[in-house]
Structure 1
Amino acid sequence: MYEANATVIGTIATHPVKRDLANGEQVVTFRLASNSRRLDHTSGQWVDNGTLYLTISCWRRLVAGVDASLHRGDPVIAYGRLRSHEYRSKDGVERRDLEMRAITVGPDLSRCAAQVRRWSAAAPRNTAVGASAAGGVPGEDPTGAAGMATGSISGSGSAPEPVGT
């Protein structure tokens, strides 16, 4: 099993699922579909050239951001370590799945618009940010989850509506 760093541009194909593990860690996983297109010079048309599917797993600081921001159908860019996972299915067939342990995931701004909200500098990431929190940041969204103010992604091409106003 070899590992290589790679960047994959695609669309989230399944709803991201957050799980709590027995050791206290959390992980968010989802399937990503990356479509390859090429120009057919004889017809002048763009044609699909296959789809790459891979499982993305997000750990540590990435969990809160992905869980609060990304949904099925969102266009994203994922960067991380690729590896092949080989296993035997229930019916005895050997299978291979491509997985990525993501280092970073974000919206593909060539295909959507996104409102960015930074982590609150005044609150730890594992507690909610409140308007009356000691050292709260003026103008920060007090409804942020896991110590961050949440944003949204809009695939319509227009600017997204403000969140939390």
Structure 2
Amino acid sequence: MNETTVTLVGNVATGVEYRETPSGGVARFRFAVTTRRWVREQSAWADGNTSFYTVFAWRSLGANLAASVGVGDPLVVHGKLRIREEEREGRRKTFVDVDAVAAGHDLTRGTAAFRRVARVGATREQPAEDAQSQTGIEESVTLAPPSVEQLTPVS
């Protein structure tokens, strides 16, 4: 009900791990957000502290993130903030997680080529060839959830 919603701008810090669960697929990755500030005396921008978040994305968002995002990619992530505390090795630790509602590449830092994913079971009002000929836009592709090979970063 009274959830804290945040929008984070930063970089993917780890590979996206994707797995299927009984309630649907989930993607998980670490996200680094570094503050920037203008230093007037040097007339330059300087990096401040970096905060790390664990981002969780469920169902189609998770599958699409796993198929689209790599380490170092600049992203904008919007979602619900969760703070949790755990005791590990006799020490109390605090973790900051974000349950993503939306995410995408940060287009202030580069370009991207978007591919629409057709939903399984969705009906169309017109056949694919008619849609392309009328709009000049390529038809959507259907992507299966990524395999383990697709999730492993290639050196």
Distance 2:74 2:103 in 1: 10
Alpha-carbon displacement from aligned partner over 1:30-78 (angstroms, at most 9, x marks no partner): 0000110101112222111100110000012212211211111110000
Distance 2:113 2:69 in 1: 12
Partner of 2:85 in structure 1? 86
Partner of 1:16 in structure 2? 16
**What is the aligned-residue RMSD (CA, Å)?**
2.3
Residue 145 of structure 1 pairs with residue 136 of structure 2: no
Change beyond 3 A, Cα 1:4–1:112: same
Distance 1:25 1:35 in 2: 32
Percent sequence identity is 30
Residue 59 of structure 1 pairs with residue 55 of structure 2: no
- Asked whether the equivalents of residues 40 and 47 of structure 1 are also in contact (C-alpha less than 8 Å), the reply is yes
After TM superposition, the structure 1 = structure 2 runs for residues 42-57 of structure 1, keeping only pairs within 5 Å, are 42-57=41-56
Distance 1:4 1:72 in 2: 27
Structure 1 residue 24 displacement after superposition: 4.6
Change beyond 3 A, Cα 1:7–1:24: closer
Residue 124 of structure 1 pairs with residue 123 of structure 2: no
Return 5+ residue gaps in structure 1 as ranges: 127-134, 148-165
Residue 26 of structure 1 pairs with residue 17 of structure 2: no
Partner of 1:102 in structure 2? 100
- Asked whether the equivalents of residues 86 and 97 of structure 1 are also in contact (C-alpha less than 8 Å), the reply is yes
Higher relative contact order (CA 8 A, sep 6+): 2
- Asked whether the equivalents of residues 7 and 79 of structure 2 are also in contact (C-alpha less than 8 Å), the reply is yes
Distance 2:53 2:121 in 1: 29
- Asked whether the equivalents of residues 58 and 102 of structure 1 are also in contact (C-alpha less than 8 Å), the reply is yes
Choose between structure 1 and 2: higher helix proportion: 2
Return 5+ residue gaps in structure 2 as ranges: 130-137, 146-155
Amino acid at match of 1:14: T
Corresponding residue to 1:112 among 110, 113, 121: 110
Distance 1:7 1:137 in 2: 36
Partner of 2:5 in structure 1? 5
TM-score normalised by structure 1 residue count:
0.72
- Asked whether the equivalents of residues 119 and 125 of structure 1 are also in contact (C-alpha less than 8 Å), the reply is no
Distance 1:137 1:64 in 2: 24
Amino acid at match of 2:114: V
